Amino acid sequence: MDSNKHHASQLSPHDPGGPSSIEMVNLNAPELAEADNSPEPSSSAWHPRITPYRLVNLLVPICIGTAKAAASQRGSSTVPTTLEWVSGVVVFLVLFHAGSYEAKVHIPLFIAWAFKKDCMGLVWELFRFLSIPPPKYNFEEYIGPNTGHIVTSYRLLVSSTVMFFGFIKATLTYSGSSTGATWVEWTLGVVITSVLYFIGLYENNSSGLWPTFFGKNRADAVRSGLKGTSKALIIGTSLVLMALMIFIKRPKDALTEADLPVLLGGYNHAINFIVEGIFVCFFLLGLVILFAGLRSVVEDLGDRIPQSIRSRSEHAFQTVSNIPLRLVRPLLGFAHTMRHTITLLGSIAFFAIWASVVVGVMYRISINDIKVPSRWNPFMYFSMCFLGLVLLVPWVFGFWWAIRGVGSALRHSLPVLAIQLVLTSLMQFNYAFGELRDSLQVPPV
């Protein structure tokens, strides 16, 4: 004991009674030795742990999707249906409920191996057997409070990809192209699903990898996009309203049987225009998602890109992003109250017109007034229902924001004038759509 004190006094003459910093390092030496066997620090490369559960999630869609596509190409209908039922019901429910254990810290011992064991360890053992040094990386996942960001770039990419390919498959199926639908389903269910699932394993990384792609909240961007979409659709609705007013103002007696082919031909052109418009919207949606993904990648690369290239890329992205705003900005220079009032009235007209058009077209198809091939009937119903759903979502947002804006204006100024304007507009819309309903009725033979 005296020797230790004498040694300490030599190392630290200012504090002869306490342990020196060198002694503290020596005391912690066993702990540092044990820490050398732990995973690499967060500054090193990070890759997810490939557990048996995750490996099953990767292999099951590949095996079942490939077998289903092969059976469909051979002309079998029973085998694909059975495989789809097994994979879509039984396997999905089992894997879904088993996935709840993946986020738990304490897992029952009898199934802990399925969520904790790293299957890549077998591969690294083979590397060591072949005298190949295995890579060193960190695989510890982030365990902590959730950020609460639901709308991220990765989740938007997954949702939009499924919606995009699902719509393409439905279109090919209803148009009679079974081969194309099979290959689209295989591409989505095997290739894209596996890639997106593997990318999603990096979402809970502990190294701060791709923070913009996985962690940045995109709710404001989605909200702004919905606002812009609702305003654009309302402007388009006003154009449709002006076209329909020409037809509404025609006297009823002027509508004869000779006008019916022209009317039905107009409906056919309207359907073709709507279908083509849906495809254009999905194409533009894909471009927007690609643009957002590229911007997220550029932001995540950060210091890995030279400063000159990074600044030029950011300037280019900012310039392209501001082009639509510069084009629309002159149209948005109205007063706050007037803009919300017009949005409210346009939302009412928008919903009423498109609901009438959708229901009217579907009714005309059902009574065979619109002559389309029978195989296109399911596609027509699907397109109109999907169009109604797509148009209803921005209408709800636009209507709610307009109600809030108009409500604020009514509380502060011009309450009587605003109420009279709304009531008068509703009366005019009621009269206009009553005339439209009477005009579209088929005259008795």
Between CA 152 and CA 164, with CA 158 as vertex, the angle to 5 degrees is 125
In a domain, 239, yes or no: yes
Asked if the model's pLDDT at residue 188 lies above 80, the reply is: yes
Q: What is the pLDDT of residues 58-97, one digit of tens each?
A: 888 888 888 888 888 888 778 888 888 877 778 888 888 7
Same-domain check for residues 292 and 340: no
List b or e across 256-286, with b for residues whose CB sees 16 or more CB atoms inside 10 angstroms: eeeeeeebeeebeeebeebbeebeeebeeee
In terms of Cβ atoms closer than 10 Å to its own Cβ (0-12, 13-18, 19+), residue 161 is: middle
Between 48 and 28, residue with greater pLDDT: 48
388 shares its domain with 261: no
Whether residue 309 is contained in a domain is answered as: no
C-alpha pair distances (Å), 126 with each of 49, 75, 123: 17, 43, 5
The per-residue pLDDT for range 137-184, each reduced to its tens digit, is: 887 777 655 655 677 888 888 887 887 787 778 777 777 777 888 888
Q: Is the domain of 122 the same as that of 72?
A: yes
How does pLDDT run across 395-414, given as a tens digit for each residue? 565 556 656 655 555 455 45
Classify residue 201 by burial, with Cβ atoms within 10 Å: 0-12, 13-18, 19+.
Answer: middle
Residue 287 in any domain: the answer is yes
In a domain, 292, yes or no: yes
Reported as a single tens digit per residue, the pLDDT across 7-37 is 444 444 444 444 443 333 343 433 333 333 3
Is 328 inside any structural domain?
A: no
DSSP classification of residue 151: -
Residue 15 lies inside a defined structural domain of this protein: no
What are the phi and psi torsion angles at 205 (to 5°)?
-70, 150
Domain boundary among 141, 160, 194: 141
For residues 194 and 270, give the distance between their C-alpha atoms in angstroms, rounded to a whole number: 39
Report, as an integer, the average pLDDT of 261-272.
55
- Cβ-based burial of 302 (10 A; exposed 0-12, middle 13-18, buried ≥19): exposed
CA 56 to chain centre: 25
Containing structural domain, residue 377: 334-435
| Assigned token pair, 265 | 């031909």
Say yes or no: 226 and 267 in one domain: yes
Question: What is the C-alpha to C-alpha distance for residues 61 and 412, in angstroms, rounded to an integer?
Answer: 59
Could you tell me if 119 and 211 lie in one domain? no
Residue pLDDT, tens place only, 89-106: 788 888 887 877 777 777
Mean pLDDT, residues 282-308: 61
Residues 157 and 254 in one domain: yes
Q: Give the residue-averaged pLDDT of 316-340.
A: 54
Measured CA to CA, the distance from residue 53 to residue 99 in angstroms comes to 8
- Asked whether residue 177 falls in the same domain as residue 285, the answer is yes
* Furthest CA-CA distance within the chain: 120
Tell which wins on pLDDT, 273 or 163: 163
Looking at the structure of the chain, the number of domains it has is 3
DSSP H stretches of helix in 74-119: 78-85, 92-98, 109-116
Question: What SS3 class is residue 149?
Answer: coil
Among 141, 171, 195, residue at a domain's last position: 141
What's the pLDDT score for residue 149? Answer: 65
From the list 290, 159, 150, 298, the residue with the least C-alpha distance to 215 is 150
Partners of 46 in beta bridges? 138
Q: Give the bridge partners for 11, in sequence order.
A: none
Does residue 196 lie in a domain region? yes
Residues 131 and 189 in one domain: no
Query: Do both 218 and 88 map to the same domain?
Result: no
> Which residue in 367, 390, 387 sits closest to 377, CA to CA?
367
pTM above 0.75, yes or no: no
Q: Indicate whether 84 and 172 sit together in one domain.
A: no
- Shared domain for 86 and 207, answered yes or no, is no
Domain end marker among 90, 118, 141: 141
Q: Note whether 47 and 137 are within 8 A (CB).
A: yes
Residue 183: name the closest of 285, 68, 275 by CA.
68
Residue 386 lies in a domain: yes
Instruction: State whether 203 and 269 are in the same domain.
Output: yes
Instruction: Quick: pLDDT tens for 110-133.
Output: 788 888 888 888 888 888 888 888
Cα 362–chain centre separation: 29
